[in-house]
Amino acid sequence: MEQYSGKSILKKISIGKIFYYEKKQATVKRNKVEDTQAEVLRFQEAKKTAQEQLDLLYKKAQKEVGESGAAIFEVHMMLLDDDDYCESVYNIIESQKVSCEYAVAVTGDNFSKMFAEMDDEYMKERAADIKDITERVINILTGTNTDMSDLIEPIILVADDLAPSETVQMDKSKLLGFVTQFGSSNSHTAILARTMNIPALIGVDIKKEWNGKLAVIDGYKGTIVIDPQEDYLKEAKKQIEQDLKKQELLRQLKGQPAVTKDGTKVHLYANIGSVSDVASALYNDAEGIGLFRSEFLYLESDDFPTQNEQLNAYKTVAENMAGKKVIIRTLDVGADKKVDYFHLDEEENPALGYRAIRICLTREDVFRTQLSAILRASAYGNLSIMFPMIISVEEVKKAKRILQEVKDQLKADHIEYKDVEVGVMIETPAAVMMSEELAAEVDFFSIGTNDLTQYTLAIDRQNPKLDDFYDPHHPAVLRMIKQTVENGHKGGAWVGICGELASDTSLTETFLRMGVDELSVSSTFLLSVKDKVRSLDLSK
C-alpha cells in the first residue's frame, strides 16, 4: 500500500482501477517488414476496432446532441471505409514493405493534404476528418491511450494534466475521479470534477506504473492510496456509505421551496455543460438552468457546429426543462478553452486576450449562427441569452444589434421564435464599475465569480503556484458583488451568481443579505445550498 498527497477539489471518496492517460502522439517510424500480409491483417483489425469505437461515439452523440450532432462520426466511419484510402494503405505496405502504422500515417498525410487543397469548401473540411481517423487507427495500432470517450469500465483517471477539450469527450458515467500532476483548483477540469460530483486531486506525483492498479481517492484527506490494504478499503467503503446517507437526507428537500425562515426567496438554478447534464439538474430539483456553457458544443466538435446541430442541443434542453428558465451563455472560447479549428493565435497572456464576446463580435458569422440557433430553439421552451466577458455598454449594444438583425432575418424567413431575456456576465472589474449603465441595457446580470476573482486580484487562476494567493472571499471581490447587485437592481435588472462561489454555503447568507436573486451551481450542490437557505433567518 502506497499513499500520495495532493490538493483536493471535492470532499468525497472514490474506489476504482486506475487508467493512466498519456497525452502524447504515437511515434511512427519507417520500419521495414518481411510479412506484408500480416501488416495488412493488422490494419484491417485496427480499422475494425476504430469503426466499433466510432459507432459507440455515434450512438452516444445521438442521445446527447441529436442526429445532426452525431453525423460527424458517421462521416468518419465512411471515410475509414473508403476504398481509395484503404487501397493506398495496402499499396504502401506491399510496395515499400513497411509497417502498417507507417502506411496509415503516409496515407493520412497525403489524403488530408489533397482535400485541403481542393476548391470545394465541403471537401476542404474533410482534411481534418482524415487526420482524425488516421490518428485513431495509429493509436489503436501502437496501443497509445488517447481516446477516453469509449471506456469500458468505471475508472480513476490519472494524467499529467487535462484540457477542457479532453475532459468533455469522456464518457462521464465511467469516471470515478481525477488525479493530475499539474493543474489548478480553479481550472475547468476542477470545475468539471465538482460538476460531476467526483473527487479530484491535483499536484500529485503520479506514476505510469499505477495503470490498472486498484486505488482509493480520499478527497477529505487529499490523498490517493495505491493497492490499499483490506482494512483501509473497509474504512473507505464505510465513509462512502455515510456520504450516501447524507445525500439521501438532502433528497428529502426535493420539492421544497428555497425560502429562508423569514420568507426570503432565492432561485436555485443549475450550471450545465451538455445536454446530458440536464438529467442531473432535474434529479437535484433545479428550478432552471442558470448557465448552459454552450462552448462545450464547440469543444466536442471537430469543426464549427452547424446551426441545426446547435438547434437540436438547445431545443432538447428547452424541452426537457419543460418551461423552466434556461440561460444559454454564448460562445466563450479562448484562454484555456482552445479549439483547434478556430485557428487562434498563441498569446502572451490569453486570459486577457482574444476570447468570448471579443471573438463573437469580430467573427459575426459564427455569432449569428449561434444566435439564430438559440432563437429558433426558443420556440420550444423558456430560453434566455447571456453574453460573456463584457466590459462596456458599447459591446452590449453591438451584440444586441446583431441579435435584432438575426431576429429580423428569421421573421423574414417566417421562422418562429420567442422574445428572450438578454443578460450579461459580470466577470471583469470594468463590468462592475459600469453595472448601473449596463443594467439599463439588459434584463439580468449573472456574476461569474471565477473570472471576477481572477481579474480583481490579478491572479491567473490556472497557475497552481498561485493557489495559496487566490482568495475568492477577498473583501474586494465581495464588495464588487455587492456593488453589482445594488446597481443591477437600481437599473431594473435581476442579479444572479453562476460562478463557483454560488455553491459556497459559507457565503449563502452573505449573498442573500446583499439581495442576490438567483444562485446557479453545479447540480450536485443544489440540495446542500437549498438546505443552507432554508436554515437561515435574515430577520435576525
With a CB cutoff of 8 Å and minimum separation 6, the contacts of 528 are: 250, 503, 505
Element (H, E) at 290: strand 289-293
CB 426 within 8 A of CB 445: yes
CB 509 within 8 A of CB 536: yes
Q: What is the DSSP letter of 521?
A: E
Helix/strand/coil for 168: coil
The yes-or-no answer on residue 489 being catalytic is no
Give the residue carrying C-alpha cell 515499400. Answer: 96
C-alpha cell at 171: 464518457
Expressed in angstroms, the distance from the first to the final Cα of the chain is: 52
Backbone angles phi, psi at 519, to 5 degrees: -125, 125
Angle between helical axes of 83-96 and 36-80 (0-180°, round to 10): 160
With a CB cutoff of 8 Å and minimum separation 6, the contacts of 406 are: 368, 371, 372, 375
The yes-or-no answer on residue 343 being catalytic is no
Residue 378's nearest CA partner among 418, 411, 341, 422 is 418
Residue 463's nearest CA partner among 184, 243, 67 is 184
Distance CA 518, CA 511 (A): 9
Overall size of the chain counted in residues: 540
Catalytic residue among 76, 100, 360, 498: 498
DSSP per-residue letters across 298-348: HHT-SSPPPHHHHHHHHHHHHHHTTTSEEEEEP---BTTB--GGG-PPP-S
Give the residue carrying C-alpha cell 467573427. Answer: 363
Distance CA 222, CA 202 (A): 9
Edge-to-edge strands, sheet with 223-226: 2-5, 223-226, 214-218, 13-21, 155-159, 175-180, 200-202, 7-8
CB 123 within 8 A of CB 108: no
With a CB cutoff of 8 Å and minimum separation 6, the contacts of 369 are: 304, 306, 307, 310
Which residues on adjacent β-strands are paired with residue 157? 19, 178
Helix, strand, coil percentages (3-state) for the chain, rounded to 5, are 50, 15, 35
Backbone angles phi, psi at 382, to 5 degrees: -115, 80
Catalytic residue among 188, 360, 473, 474: 188
Distance CA 478, CA 513 (A): 12
Distances from the Cα of 224 to the Cα of 156, 178, 236, angstroms: 10, 10, 11
Catalytic residues: 188, 498
